[in-house]
């Protein structure tokens, strides 16, 4: 994929510095399995079931949700991914050019903390998958000790994959895509043959507001990947097709989200408890026959490993931009420890896994969307990123702006974030403006966040952008060789 990582699976040593042009030899089609792997989660089944049970949608409305959600969320993933080919650096490193060297610490910290929750949810789901397989195959019943052991095994495996780097992640994604596709067809065939379709097709329709809210719920998972998109496109050459970057993101997510959500909706008609199960993974072992459930849960387990590996891979870069002066693979370990601790609390204390998950998704989308609005609006006026300025965290940096902050970006981000929270409703938090209006009723708090932050950034006066020097921008490494792995503020 690049000359920095000469063999697939080798340890990637490049950190947040800009990738030189001569190393950017990746191809856009390699992104397709990346975004397939980012969605191999049995939680999509339970979210599909929630569309029927909680949102009261019929199968045709669920189809609309399953088609629209990946187009909306991964369309944004692809668009922000274009910045990766322009700047050749991870998303939160490119963000320094927008917010300033110090200003970037504000959205960076929030996104890093939000990743703790995302990785915790994934780790717990993976542990549940292992516990279910042990129960079905060996008759081992879950208990507190076994729960913690399985959680530890999952987190360690995640750290091993993400710590190796992008080649290891993408290689695993490629093989997981084939396996998941084959077994999903098997599950789909079983459902077609064993479902009471008259009951499915006769299910009553829900409201338009419920359809739009459902789109937002499913799309929230994709929104969480938007700041990470440049992390996976930074090895692409500058001439890579922007349309292909967007297309592979939407296509890779869509081929997973569409069938998984629909399968969950179909399952929920006969087994509505799937939408509210305290352990949504083991519930699948009761719905499906053993000969399908075991291999399918095993593939789902691999999928959860890959999702968490990709998240921790990006989180390592975020930690470096926040000032953790350690190599990327050690920065990853910080998130691994956090997900282990929080995952243990969730498994031992939480009474409603899906309730906690959906509440978290609604707040996660807002947290990420404030950055998306500002960064996306900035992409309309910026086509290049100065690698040396991104790496220079002192007052001499072209991205120092005013005291290390870009006032327009920071103000737009903060106002957008607050605005989104005001219109957001969840089990954990309800904004004072979340009722008696279209935005709150339709669950569009995260959309309001993007619009407010993006428009405000466009209209506010911005510091002058220094023109990048040609040698610094295109040909030379962004940092001295000795500092490649220890980038930080």
Q: DSSP per residue over 217-268, as a string?
A: HHHHHHHTTGGGGGGGTTTS-TTS-HHHHHHHHHHHHHHHHHHHHHHHHHHH
pLDDT band at 478 (very low <50, low <70, confident <90, very high): very low
- Encoded tokens for 210: 């419920």
Region of poorest pLDDT, from 179-183, 199-203, 380-384, 468-472:
468-472
The encoded tokens of residue 332 equal: 């990853």
Residue 117 pLDDT more than 80? no
Instruction: Tell me the range of 76-90, 327-341, 455-469 where mean pLDDT is highest.
Output: 76-90
Between 141-150, 265-274, 429-438, 466-475, the lowest mean confidence (pLDDT) is in 466-475
Q: What's the CA gap between 149 and 255, in Å, rounded? A: 33
Residue 369's pLDDT is: 93
Q: Report the distance separating Cα 404 and Cα 104, nearest Å.
A: 9
Q: In angstroms, rounded to a whole number, what is the distance separating the alpha carbons of residues 54 and 100?
A: 43
Q: What are phi and psi of 402, to 5 degrees?
A: -110, 100
DSSP one-letter code for 405: B
Instruction: Count CB neighbours of 201 within 10 A.
Output: 11
Three-state DSSP at 430 gives strand
pLDDT for res 376: 96
Contact 11, 164 (CB under 8 A): yes
pTM (predicted TM-score): 0.83
| Statement: residue 457 has pLDDT above 80 | yes
What is d(CA 168, CA 487) in angstroms, rounded to the nearest whole number?
22
Report d(CA 392, CA 127) in Å as an integer: 41
pLDDT digits (tens, 9 = 90+) for 80-91: 999 999 999 999
Rounded distance between C-alpha atoms, residue 130 and residue 151, angstroms:
9
Mean pLDDT of 322-335: 68
**Tokens 């387990």 sit at which residue?**
301
Q: What is the pLDDT of residue 364?
A: 78
Please give the C-alpha separations between residue 184 and each of 44, 191, 236, in angstroms, as whole numbers.
13, 11, 31
CA dihedral (318, 91, 444, 268) positive or negative: negative
- Tell me which of 110-114, 134-138, 171-175, 326-330 is least confident: 326-330
- At 204-244, the pLDDT tens digits run 889 998 999 999 889 988 898 999 999 999 999 999 999 99
Q: In 10 A of CB 217, how many CB atoms? A: 21
Give the chain's mean pLDDT: 81
- Specify which residues 405 forms β-bridges with: 402
């Amino acid at each position: 994929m690049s000359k920095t990582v000469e063999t697939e699976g080798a340890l990637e040593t490049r950190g947040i510095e800009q990738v030189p042009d001569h190393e950017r030899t990746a191809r856009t089609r390699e992104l397709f399995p990346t975004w397939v792997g980012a969605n191999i989660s049995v939680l999509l089944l339970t979210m599909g079931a929630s569309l029927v049970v909680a949102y009261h949608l019929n199968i045709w409305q669920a189809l609309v949700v399953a088609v629209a959600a990946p187009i909306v969320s991964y369309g944004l993933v692809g668009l922000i991914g274009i910045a990766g080919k322009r700047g050749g650096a991870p998303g939160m490193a490119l963000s320094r050019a927008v917010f300033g060297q110090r200003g970037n610490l504000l959205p960076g910290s929030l996104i890093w903390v939000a990743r703790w929750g995302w990785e915790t949810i994934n780790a717990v789901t993976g542990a549940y998958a292992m516990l279910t397989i042990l129960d079905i195959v060996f008759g081992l019943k879950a208990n507190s000790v076994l729960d913690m052991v399985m959680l530890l095994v999952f987190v360690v495996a995640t750290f091993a994959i993400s710590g190796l780097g992008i080649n290891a992640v993408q290689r695993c994604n490629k093989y997981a895509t084939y396996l998941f596709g084959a077994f999903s067809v098997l599950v789909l065939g079983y459902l077609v043959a064993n479902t009471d379709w008259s009951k499915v097709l006769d299910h009553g329709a829900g409201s338009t507001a419920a359809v739009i809210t459902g789109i937002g719920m499913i799309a929230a998972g994709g929104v969480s990947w938007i700041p990470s998109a440049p992390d996976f496109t930074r090895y692409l050459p500058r001439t890579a097709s922007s349309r292909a970057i967007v297309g592979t993101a939407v296509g890779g997510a869509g081929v997973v989200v569409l069938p998984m959500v629909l399968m969950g909706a179909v399952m929920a008609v006969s087994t509505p408890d799937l939408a509210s199960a305290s352990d949504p993974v083991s519930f699948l072992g009761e719905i499906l026959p053993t000969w399908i459930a075991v291999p399918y849960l095993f593939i789902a387990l691999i999928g959860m490993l890959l999702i968490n590996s990709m998240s921790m891979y990006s989180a390592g870069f975020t930690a470096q931009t926040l000032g953790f002066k350690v190599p990327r693979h050690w920065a990853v370990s910080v998130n691994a420890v956090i997900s282990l601790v929080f995952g243990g609390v969730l498994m031992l204390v939480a009474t409603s896994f899906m309730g906690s998950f959906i509440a978290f998704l609604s707040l996660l989308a807002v947290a990420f969307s404030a950055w998306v609005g500002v960064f996306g609006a900035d992409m309309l006026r910026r086509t290049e990123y100065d690698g040396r300025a991104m790496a220079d965290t002192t007052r001499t940096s072209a991205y120092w702006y005013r005291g290390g902050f870009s006032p327009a970006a920071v103000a737009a981000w903060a106002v957008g974030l607050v605005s989104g929270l005001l219109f957001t409703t969840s089990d954990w938090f309800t904004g004072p403006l979340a009722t008696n209006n279209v935005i709150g009723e339709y669950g569009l708090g995260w959309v309001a966040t993007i619009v407010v932050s993006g428009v405000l950034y466009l209209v506010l006066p911005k510091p002058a952008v220094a023109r990048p020097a040609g040698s610094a921008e295109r040909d030379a490494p962004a940092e001295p060789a000795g500092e490649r792995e220890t980038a930080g503020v």
